[in-house]
Amino acid sequence: MKVLMFGWEFPPFKSGGLGTACFDLTKGLNNQGVEVTFVMPTAPDGAKSDFVKLVAADKLSRTKKIKIRKINTILTPYMTSESYDDAIHHHTEKITGTKGSKEVYGDNLHEEVYRYSEVAKAIAEDEEYDLIHAHDWMTYQAGINAREISGKPLVVHIHATEYDRTGGNPNPYIAELEYKGMSEADMVIANSEFTKNNVIEAYDIDPEKIKVVHWGIDPHDEKYKTNHTSAISKKDKLVLFLGRITIQKGPEYFVRAAKLVADHVPNVKFVMAGSGDMANKMIEEANHLGLADKILFAGWLKGNDSHKAFQMADLYVMPSVSEPFGLVALESMANGTPVLISKQSGASEVIQNALKVNFWDVAGMADKMIGVLKHSVLHEELSENSYKEVMSFSLDEPARKTIDCYEQALGGERK
């Protein structure tokens, strides 16, 4: 079976949560004998992967006799129109010393996605494949265009709805693209029952059309075995928040719970690793609550730095308001760090050895943090059992379920 897959990022060329999910899925599909051609907007010259064919849309003009401008994109999977404009201003000022030229990039978020979807038409004509797979709203129109060119089935993957990301206040343009992609697709893959239910509620998509494939992880990856320590973690207990500091991830509930914990556990420090539109607000809130010397704002961590943070921490907390899955919880467990996750997450459907709490229950969240920090037996039991549990996860099971979805989209005929 050959799959033409559209995505926006793929490690190590771009690495966010969506990129990690795409990387793991394609690796698992390769293990099952599926050939994947992964199309991303831009990649360095000579970019390649051991298990997937990478096609960068901005290199297309070098290989086909068509007039397409290079797609130098700064769009990221969770970007809003406002943050897109901010990114352009920052990027062009950094390079040219002047503010805000939009000659290189799209005039707005809409044009950036449109340019990518137009290039998809040429790629669809050039590649050989049985089926099209598009990840999240930015690539849905590209997938639709490829299907119009080829007549091949279209499977769209929803990793997070616009309603999840914005706390129920969606950007109308993005919401319309999500609805169009899922409505026109032959099949929709959701990463949890939580996400499936959100899609049904927000977009009224036929439940029979939506298949759930939970994420897996490669727990034997060497990156989980660095055994990092630091002077801070030797002196104090560490509680970690790692993720985007946005309304979706519930950072304010983490900070409020931190205040309650600090009142009962003197030798504790909290690390907020990430960036987002609520970062400054959380710094102000920490100061207001008298936590200036208790909470460390580490900024965005990537690669081995994120794994070092897990290995330093005594507990990872994921207080998300609306978390479609939460792959980071599995990563924490693979690093030997116990987890406290919100019940409003897809990960809570599949993880047994974790502490769970409603995101709004700040007192309950604090009580569970205190229990882990004060009682070494509880900490050790959670750490050992969650590590054993995550060792049973793999990349192959999600891949097998995804292939089942492909076969259904193809009408039951395996190619």
Instruction: Give the chain's mean pLDDT.
Output: 85
pLDDT at residue number 96: 44
Q: Report the alpha-carbon angle 59-19-173, nearest 5.
A: 80
Q: Is the pLDDT of residue 328 over 70?
A: yes
pLDDT in tens, 348-399: 999 999 999 999 999 999 999 999 999 999 999 999 999 999 999 999 999 9
pLDDT in tens, 111-143: 778 888 888 898 899 889 999 999 989 899 999
Question: How far, in Å, CA of 85 to CA of 142, rounded?
Answer: 23
pLDDT at residue number 66: 24
Same fold, 2-216+395-409 and 222-390: yes
Question: How far, in Å, CA of 412 to CA of 362, rounded?
Answer: 48
Band (23; pLDDT cuts 50, 70, 90): confident
pLDDT in tens, 200-221: 999 999 999 999 999 999 888 8
Q: Is the pLDDT of residue 105 over 70?
A: no
- CB neighbour burial string for 197-224, b if at least 16 within 10 angstroms, e if fewer: ebbeebbebeeeebbbbbbbbbbeeeeb
Q: Is the pLDDT of residue 106 over 70?
A: no
Contact 146, 169 (CB under 8 A): no
Domain ranges of the chain: 2-216+395-409, 222-390
Question: How far, in Å, CA of 41 to CA of 118, rounded?
Answer: 11
Q: Is the pLDDT of residue 405 over 70?
A: yes
Contact 219, 334 (CB under 8 A): yes
Pair of tokens at residue 42: 């831009």
- Helix, strand or coil, per DSSP, at residue 323: strand
Q: Report the alpha-carbon angle 99-100-102, nearest 5.
A: 145
pLDDT at residue number 71: 41
Residues 325-349: what's their mean pLDDT?
Answer: 95
Band (10; pLDDT cuts 50, 70, 90): confident
pLDDT at residue number 316: 98
pLDDT in tens, 56-70: 766 654 444 322 223
What kind of fold does domain 2-216+395-409 have according to CATH?
Rossmann fold (3.40.50)
Question: How far, in Å, CA of 408 to CA of 414, rounded?
Answer: 9
Q: How far is CA 138 from CA 26, 41, 117, 143, 218, in A?
A: 19, 11, 9, 10, 27
Query: Which pTM value belongs to this model?
Result: 0.84
pLDDT at residue number 259: 97
Kindly state which CATH superfamily the domain 222-390 is placed in.
Glycogen Phosphorylase B; (3.40.50.2000)
